[in-house]
Amino acid sequence: MKRFRIKGPAPALSGSVRVPGDKSIGHRALIFASLAEGRSKITGLSAGLDNRSTAELFGSLGVQIELGEHEATVDGVGLHGLKMPQGALDCGNSGTTMRLVAGLLVGQRFGTRLIGDDSLTGRPMRRIVEPLRARGGLIAGLSGKKEGEVYPPLSVAPLLEGEALTALEYSSPIASAQVKSSLLLSGLYANGVTAITEPVVSRDHTERMLRALGVPIQAMGPMVVLDPSGWDRRWSGFDWEVPGDISGAAFVIAAACMVPGSDVTVEHVGLNPTRTGIIDAMRGMRADLRFTPKGEAAGGEPCGDVRIVHGSIAATMTAGEMLTRMIDEVPAFCAIAATAGGRSDVRDAHELRVKESDRLRTTAQVLAAFGVDHTELDDGMHVHGGARLEGAEVDSQGDHRIAMMGAVLGMAAHGETIVNDVGCVATSFPAFASTMASLGADIVEEDVE
């Protein structure tokens, strides 16, 4: 087992760093490269395990992929060139991989089975299974701890000759880019229009990439429409660079915001407005954030440098549309809120109950360990900030974002902090400890029995 050992409070953090490539964008780039006709080159990929799971899965489907630490060369097989795998397709810990690939597999003439690790096996899949079935997909999962829910493994039966996926008009009860993307990917194989409406707009990486590849897709606020009529269902290989992950950058930014005297720049990070809720929340806290635009990356993704200079911050509230745009960054936000004056609120975050952990519960447990006054709610959290933080020993419970939250709180706390079971951080930010150490934090990653 691995753990972080942090001595705090840290000295002022300073310098410039890059964070791993955005794994949400990396997943999609690998998928679209696999379905392209010709060779694609993807640079800036995360070295984490999640993107590797997607690359290895498509290798099992007959796609030739040469995968380096941060890049991939992909010889695409076209929309109809995937082959039946020899065994089950292992998605590892990646819910994005399972949900998106399920949308592709329901349109194939061969059967498959999607499996994952213990954490992924406990994550809900009815949200994609039901709408995929509604358009003719033959997909099923297992029952589990919640009545009426569907859990992995997922089994997909082949479409027979003469069968095809049908048009679909679907109003999603939740704002979920994974649901939306799964249905759009299934729509690439459908014989009619795919129209999806969400309560609010979720991250739009899939739509941007499809548009860049010439796929006939339109977005009108929270509605997305893919109409394949008249389209030849083909696209060529491409060269794309994946920008840095705003979710990983959030923990670097949080640490600099929390440690007095800090001045840190995160370079070439994705600034897609459907992902920058954490930035807007920090602006609401009056954090000193400065931006330098750097153009566009993969599939039209805006990117730039983000500089954070430590200063006094105020409490704020995040909910609704803003919360949707920062759902993965809530643990980082709660860490920052622990050092703000007053009560900060998180609401409308029900989705965090079904992440790698019950992320509201584990966030509350970490706050409690550091002596932070808080109240856990069904859909969020009240965090009363401003008190002196004391070093603590906490457990990640297998959740990479909880591990990083514990570490940044430790950098602002007095005394030693131990974060146990941090091997999970490799899914998104393998070099987290060394990156923070390069900025001046007293943090080491240790192997323990």
DSSP string, 299-324: GGEEEEEEEEE----B--EE-HHHHH
- Cα separations in angstroms, 190 against 82, 101, 204, 416: 16, 15, 21, 56
H or E element that contains 92: none
Q: In the structure encoding, which two tokens stand for residue 190, read together?
A: 């459908």
Q: How many residues does the chain have?
A: 449
Other Cβ atoms closer than 10 A to 212: 17
CA distances from 45 to 55, 64, 70, 242, 438 (A): 11, 17, 4, 6, 21
The answer to whether the CB of 252 falls within 8 A of the CB of 17 is yes
Q: Is the CB of residue 120 less than 8 Å from the CB of residue 94?
A: yes
CA quadruple 62, 68, 70, 73: dihedral sign: negative
Count CB-CB contacts under 10 A for residue 174: 14
CA distance 292 to 424: 32
Q: Which residues pair with 130 in a beta bridge?
A: none
Q: What angle do CA 401, 30, 105 make, to 5 degrees?
A: 95
**Positive or negative, the Cα torsion across 191, 193, 26, 423?**
negative
**Catalytic pick from 90, 328, 348, 395?**
328
Burial degree of 325 (CB within 10 A; 0-12, 13-18, 19+): buried
* 263 is a catalytic site residue: no
d(CA 390, CA 77): 55
At 362, the amino acid letter reads T
- Euclidean distance between CA atoms 150 and 148, whole angstroms: 7
Query: What is d(CA 204, CA 208) in angstroms, rounded to the nearest whole number?
Result: 6
Report residue 392 as tokens.
Answer: 């603590």
Q: Catalytic residue numbers? A: 328
